[in-house]
Structures are given as structure tokens and as C-alpha cells.
Amino acid sequence: MIVVEKIAALRQQLTVLRDERSHENQPAAVGLVPTMGYLHEGHASLMRKAKEQSDIVVLSIFVNPIQFGPNEDLDKYPRDAERDLALAEKLGVDVVFLPSVSEMYPQPTKTKVKVEEVTTRLCGASRPGHFDGVTTVVTKLFNIIQPQKAFFGMKDAQQVAVIQQMVLDLNMPVDIVPCPIVREEDGLAMSSRNVYLSAENRQAALVLSQSLFAVDEWVQSGEMKTVGQLRDRIVEQIAGVPTAEIDYVDILTFPGLTEMASDEQLRNWKGKAIIALAVKFGATRLIDNRIL
């Protein structure tokens, strides 16, 4: 496994690997797994999928400062490069790109990539500027690495929708591969931020997945007939946990992320919808979702 910290070195290594792994006049396909590190089984699932679908797997590890707000956890965001590299090597990653902030942003960036509409709700509403930072750094990574496929976890479903919209609008020659949420045995969605949770809040956070997976029973029993009733029931269940502080509970179309009328009949809905949650437990903000 090759570990590089400089953009020029990464491009050089990829040129060599593409030449080595091209076959029958077919260029080698590069799969990119962009992460902020502190890897867990959710990230591992992305690397495995990339390994299945690519000739060369590139893992990027970069805690991107321009997607964090002034009062967010940039400085405290968990980091463990040694552990991350060991896992990447075990999973057969070919190249790990581990740049510094000064390598990615040698001067304050005067260019931002901005996606509208799909960024205005959910995390986009409560974290202004967050998705501008995400789309800008992902565009930089696509330009540097030039992958044929990029693998993103559906735990941040809004991020997937935003990146897909960006790629579509800007005719970027990369396929976005959404990958399923990976959960702990008790249902909690895996997240690098889970390490922040106290034992009490770790147990309390289970209300997120429990609420999402109770939806089938509520709808099939006829107890919940409309979008508004379902949202209210989820809010009620989460708010019943004393340490839970709700940021949002929304039910939207997917991937367009447009509002559904509160009187929309659930049984008549023909498209995809997403139930998206963001809730703080103590100082730790967790997100989860379910596509219906």
C-alpha cells in the first residue's frame, strides 16, 4: 500500500498504477473512498465495495476545515492515522492520500462549489456553509484523483444527494456509488462521532434507529395515515428520551429533498421518501435516516 501526502506525488503514483493495471486496451478504473478518517466498519464497507468495482482503490483521509462551522468540533474531531492505515492495508487499499490542510489549501480558497435547493434543508439549514465546504473539497479530490467511481455512505443521505446533483450539473465523469448504512448490533448507525457519547447517551441514542424501524409497524397497522402524523409520532418518541435535543425530524422526497405535504397519504405515495433525523445527545450531534 502506498501512502502519499502531496498532490504531485499522488498524481505520479496513479499514473504508474494506471499504466500497470490497464488491460486489453482498457484503462484501469480508479475507485475513490473519500473520508475524514477515524475509520470504522461503515468506512470498511465502502472500501470493500470499491475493491469489488475498481482496479485501483484510493482512500483519502482529510479532516476538511471549510465544512466545519465556527462553533463545531473541528479541533476535537477524532483522528488516528496509524489505526486508519492499518485497516486500509488489511482491506487491500492501493493508495492512501493523507494531505495536510496546507497541501489542500495553500492559500485561503477564493473558489467555492455551491449546490442549491437540495442543500437548504436538513443539515444544510442547521449548518450554513457546510455543504459548500463538502462540494468544494470533493471537487478538488475528483480533479486531483480523476476516479471513475466514488463511494459514499448513505448515513449522510443528504451529502449523497448533493454530490450526485453536483456531478450531474457539472458533467463530472465519475459515477457516485451510494452504499448502505452500517449499524452496530444494537442498531446505532456507525459514526466516528460515536466515541464522544457517554455510556448514558450511547444508550439513549438508540431511540433514533428504534424510531426509524418502528415506522413499518405504525404504517401497516393504520395507526399513522399521513406524513404529518408519522413525523409527529417520531418526534414524540425521540422527545421522550430526556437527554435528546432534536435538531430536525423531516420526511422529504428523495433524492430531490423537497417537502411532502403534511396531509399526504402514506399509502398513496409512489416515489422514494426519506425520514431524516439529527439529534444531539449531550454535546454530540448524530444523524440517521431511512429511505422508504
Catalytic residue among 32, 43, 55, 133: 43
pLDDT tens digit sequence for 115-134 = 999 999 999 998 999 999 99
Among 286, 106, 107, 291, CA closest to 215? 291
- The three three-digit cell numbers of residue 161, written as one number: 444527494
Binding-site positions read: 36-43, 67, 153-156, 159, 182, 190-193
Among 54, 23, 60, CA closest to 149? 54
- Peptide linkage before 34 cis (omega within 30 of 0): no
- The three three-digit cell numbers of residue 21, written as one number: 493495471
Please say whether the structural domain 2-179 has been given the CATH code 2.102.10.10.
no
Protein fold of 192-291: Pantoate--beta-alanine Ligase; Chain: A,domain 2 (3.30.1300)
Question: CATH 3.30.1300.10 spans which residues of the chain?
Answer: 192-291
d(CA 60, CA 72): 22
23 is catalytic: no
Rounded to whole angstroms, what are the CA distances from 201 to 197, 213, 222, 280, 285? 6, 20, 32, 9, 11
Question: CATH 3.40.50.620 spans which residues of the chain?
Answer: 2-179
Three-state DSSP state, 225: coil
Give residue 266's pLDDT band: very low, low, confident or very high (50, 70, 90): confident
Q: How many CB atoms lie within 10 A of CB 63?
A: 17
pLDDT tens digit sequence for 19-45 = 999 987 789 999 999 999 999 999 999
Binding-site positions for (R)-pantoate read: 67, 159
Binding-site positions for beta-alanine read: 67
Please tell me what DSSP assigns to residue 51: H
Q: What is the mean pLDDT of residues 133-155?
A: 98
